[in-house]
């Protein structure tokens, strides 16, 4: 079941500074359309898509794994942790995630700390709401 990328999501994904071979984390993946598109673009890279909703995770998993480059896990931004032995990420992104766009400031503090811990040194976090993206300073 392939999902077509909306014009809005295409603009946001186009703006991400993706490179071949990256490890990318999507926070709040919903049905997984953006994560699948990112997985297609990074060639031999890897994408982990997370969402707090079990229903969203099931929907994202049903969309396919794009040649083994996409995995999906149920977790919230503010509780996410790397699993034992899991490599950190080069880049993270979140579109319409209240913990990162200012709608839920307390959750945002926890989420930023968890994301910082999951990124490589120099890793970057992007959210929507800029022109078209905004980079979040994680203070590392």
Report pTM. 0.94
Q: What is the pLDDT of residue 140?
A: 59
Q: What is the pLDDT of residue 64?
A: 81
CB 70, CB 32: distance < 8 Å: yes
The Cα diameter of the chain in Å comes to 39
Q: Which domains are assigned to the chain? A: 7-135 (3.40.50.150)
Q: What is the pLDDT of residue 139?
A: 80
| Class of residue 7 by CB neighbours under 10 A (exposed 0-12, middle 13-18, buried 19+) | exposed
Q: What is the pLDDT of residue 86?
A: 96
CB 39, CB 47: distance < 8 Å: yes
Q: What is the pLDDT of residue 65?
A: 77
Low-confidence ranges of the chain (pLDDT < 50): 1-2
Q: Could you give the CA distance from residue 92 to residue 103 in angstroms, rounded to a whole number? A: 19
- Number of Cβ within 10 Å of residue 94's Cβ equals 24
Q: What is the pLDDT of residue 1?
A: 38
């Amino acid at each position: 079941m392939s999902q077509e990328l909306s014009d809005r999501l295409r603009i946001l994904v186009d703006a991400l500074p993706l490179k071949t071979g990256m490890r990318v984390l999507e926070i709040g993946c919903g049905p997984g359309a953006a994560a699948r598109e990112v997985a297609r673009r990074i060639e031999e890279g890897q994408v982990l898509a997370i969402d707090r909703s079990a229903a969203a995770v099931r929907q994202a998993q049903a969309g396919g794994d794009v040649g083994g480059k996409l995995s999906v896990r149920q977790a919230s931004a503010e509780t996410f942790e790397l699993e034992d032995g899991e490599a950190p990420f080069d880049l993270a992104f979140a579109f319409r995630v209240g913990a990162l766009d200012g709608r839920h400031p307390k959750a945002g503090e926890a989420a930023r700390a968890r994301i910082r811990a999951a990124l490589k040194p120099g890793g970057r976090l992007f959210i929507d709401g800029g022109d078209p993206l905004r980079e979040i300073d994680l203070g590392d």
